[in-house]
Amino acid sequence: MTPTAPTQSADPRTPLRNERGAALLIVLVMLLLLTILGATLFTSSTTEIKIAGNFRNTLETFFAADAAVEYAMTDAAIYTSIIPDSSTTSRTIEDYTIPGTTNKADIQVNLISARNNPPPGHGYQEDAGVGAGAEPSFRVNVFAISVEAEGPNEAKADIEAGMARVVPH
């Protein structure tokens, strides 16, 4: 009995012969996958930054419109120029610059009605102690305020508000 040499395929420790370049191919595929992942993350973070900026611009514009409404409610010059029972029943202020910002707003104030008494349910008793049938000494002017504000990156905000002012009759 003569021993025979084992064949190459039977030896588990024998390396395969055509492995050259397999490591390079695996590294290139991994590099491609990491590049795609990095590009996706970069695009995603850029989009999130733009969304956050747009949200900030929207808030800034909304607060500018709110400040313009507050200005329209408190500026006495607006309401002294609006006269009930005349042709001057509205006032427009264009390109009002919000203090402390570069934002601008267009303000429209319209007289809706002029009443002799406040709206029902306001708990206001007129001329306490005056006899029945006396003419009221005041009236209520009801106004509608419309504001359109413009902010950075063409952001826009529209706010409408209503208010009533008690004025002497």
Q: Residue 41 has what pLDDT?
A: 86
Q: Residue 31 has what pLDDT?
A: 95
pTM beyond 0.75: the answer is: no
Q: Residue 115 has what pLDDT?
A: 75
Q: What is the dihedral of CA 110, 114, 115, 118, to 10 degrees?
A: 40
CB 145 within 8 A of CB 93: no
Q: Residue 55 has what pLDDT?
A: 94
- pLDDT tens digit at each of 169 positions of the chain: 676 765 555 555 656 566 677 888 899 999 999 999 998 888 888 889 999 999 999 999 999 999 999 999 998 888 888 877 777 788 899 999 988 888 999 999 999 888 776 666 665 555 454 445 556 667 788 899 999 999 998 899 999 999 888 777 6
CB 149 within 8 A of CB 137: no
- Ordered strands of the 90-97 beta sheet: 90-97, 104-115, 138-150, 156-168
CB 79 within 8 A of CB 141: yes
Nearest to 71 by CA among 156, 154, 153, 149: 149
Q: What is the dihedral of CA 42, 46, 51, 57, to 10 degrees?
A: 160
Q: Residue 131 has what pLDDT?
A: 47
Strand boundaries in 34-155, DSSP class E? 90-97, 104-115, 138-150
